Structure 1
Amino acid sequence: MSLIFQERPLWVGLTVVALVSAVVAFPLLLTICLRNEAFREIQKQLRHALNHDPVTGTLSANAFATSVEHAMDRRRVPDGESPDGIMLVLRVGNLDEIGRRYGPQWADTLLQSLVRIVQSSVRYGDLVARLASDELGIYLPGATTENTREICERIRTQIGETTFAAGQERQISVALRLGGTRVEDQVNFQSLREAANRAALAEEEAGPLLFRELFS
């Protein structure tokens, strides 16, 4: 260093070295930062893919179950936030038949339409998930029976006003069941889901579209 800057003070040489180092290091640091940002974005996309159904965009069954279980666990903690509310299931009784008759893409389109109706009918903070190929789950934290009846009525009205069609205006007949159960009456997510399904299927002979107002 002294050979390069023989006629200059030491601080000048050190300043030049620092500037050169900064010029060399900045692109490298920028590249590292950009790569880290890209890596974080990939991680975010992977988490979203793991926690969401690819067809409907709703929560996956596992992510939904985990969220509801956490809420149920909080109720068991003294002075914890109460998760008391209601879980609903919306079942499409003839989804397989629709897929065979019109093609699987129309079964997917039907589910997507139902999800939009449900999401526009529930409250902010309510959770919607695809629990099975023909089953949607809806968790209404803190909801009362009266709240739930209002939500069910909004869903029922929108479905009644919607024409489901598959290509060339072929109208699809859809058999739906909606039932629910209170969270406080169940000990875990599986029992919660089973009770909601029992309510949805309890009076299947009543007609093609049934909305239960009484919960199991």
Structure 2
Amino acid sequence: MVGFVGAAAISLFVAFPLLMMLQLKNNELKKLQEAVNYSQRHDSVTKTLNGTAFAAAVEHYIDRRKRISTDAGGVMIAVVIDTLDAISRRYGPQWADTVMQSLAAITQSSVRSGDLVARLATNELGVFLPGATIENAQDVGMRIRRRCEQAAFTAGDAPLSLDIRLGGAVFDGPTDFNHIRQLADEMAMDRGGGEAEDVPISRLPAA
């Protein structure tokens, strides 16, 4: 009996460190997988969602609306910096990245809880406001514009002049992400310059 107890104690003494090492290894693998999943869904510069993850989230919302009639529509806002390419050529791509990081921070601080922000192109962010009205979207869009105007964008000591365009698309019927984004981009580029008194938002025709 004593020998059995002694053998069990020795086995436990040997196994415990191995179990601890295995647990630590599992934790490391879990953290690595979480990091991989995050990097696959987020833009490396702005830390917002990337275009693929953003489109999938919007499509999921649209698909859910088909099954849950109580869900409202939504609004997408395009936020475009016309002068980003010029900034990159004159001051270097690192300063263009800094501008986009600042724009992302301003945008994320301006949206509502539950809204999504993503980088859709080199010089463009997208904002999806599920269930929002045009008035909600106007509030968010003008908050972004106002905070951008108040912010001091610089490349080192050199002040930067930003030409920011905003435009939106509202939908409340069957549609898809590509149509929503196309209309939001058109509104931003055609009518969404800094001289606009509000954010131009157009209603997407039902598919």
* Structure 2: segments with no counterpart, 5+ residues: none
Corresponding position of 1:143:
132
1:163 has 2:152 as partner: yes
Deviation of the 1:13 alpha carbon: 2.6
1:178 has 2:166 as partner: yes
How many residue pairs get aligned? The number is 202
Deviation of the 1:14 alpha carbon: 2.2
* Structure 1: segments with no counterpart, 5+ residues: 1-9
1:133 has 2:96 as partner: no
Query: Cα RMSD (Å) of the superposition?
Result: 1.7
1:36 has 2:23 as partner: no
1:202 has 2:190 as partner: yes
Deviation of the 1:215 alpha carbon: 2.3
1:63 has 2:32 as partner: no
CA 109–186 in structure 1, closer or farther in 2 if over 3 Å, else same = farther
Q: Is the CA contact (8 Å cut-off) linking 2:142 and 2:199 kept in structure 1?
A: no
Corresponding position of 2:175:
187
Distance 1:113 1:80 in 2: 38
Q: Is the CA contact (8 Å cut-off) linking 1:177 and 1:209 kept in structure 2?
A: no
1:107 has 2:96 as partner: yes
Corresponding position of 1:4:
none
Deviation string, structure 1 residues 51-104 (Cα, Å, up to 9, x no partner) = 110110100111111111101100011x36625211111011121111001111
Q: What TM-score do the two structures reach when normalised by structure 1? A: 0.87
Deviation of the 1:209 alpha carbon: 5.1
Structure index of larger Rg: 1
Large movers: runs of 4+ above 6 Å: none
Q: Is the CA contact (8 Å cut-off) linking 1:61 and 1:129 kept in structure 2?
A: yes
Distance 2:56 2:70 in 1: 16
Identity of aligned residues (%): 43
Q: Is the CA contact (8 Å cut-off) linking 1:176 and 1:209 kept in structure 2?
A: no
What SS does structure 2 have at the residue aligned with 1:163?
A: coil
Distance 2:107 2:88 in 1: 21
CA 209–18 in structure 1, closer or farther in 2 if over 3 Å, else same = farther
Corresponding position of 1:98:
87
Corresponding position of 2:201:
214
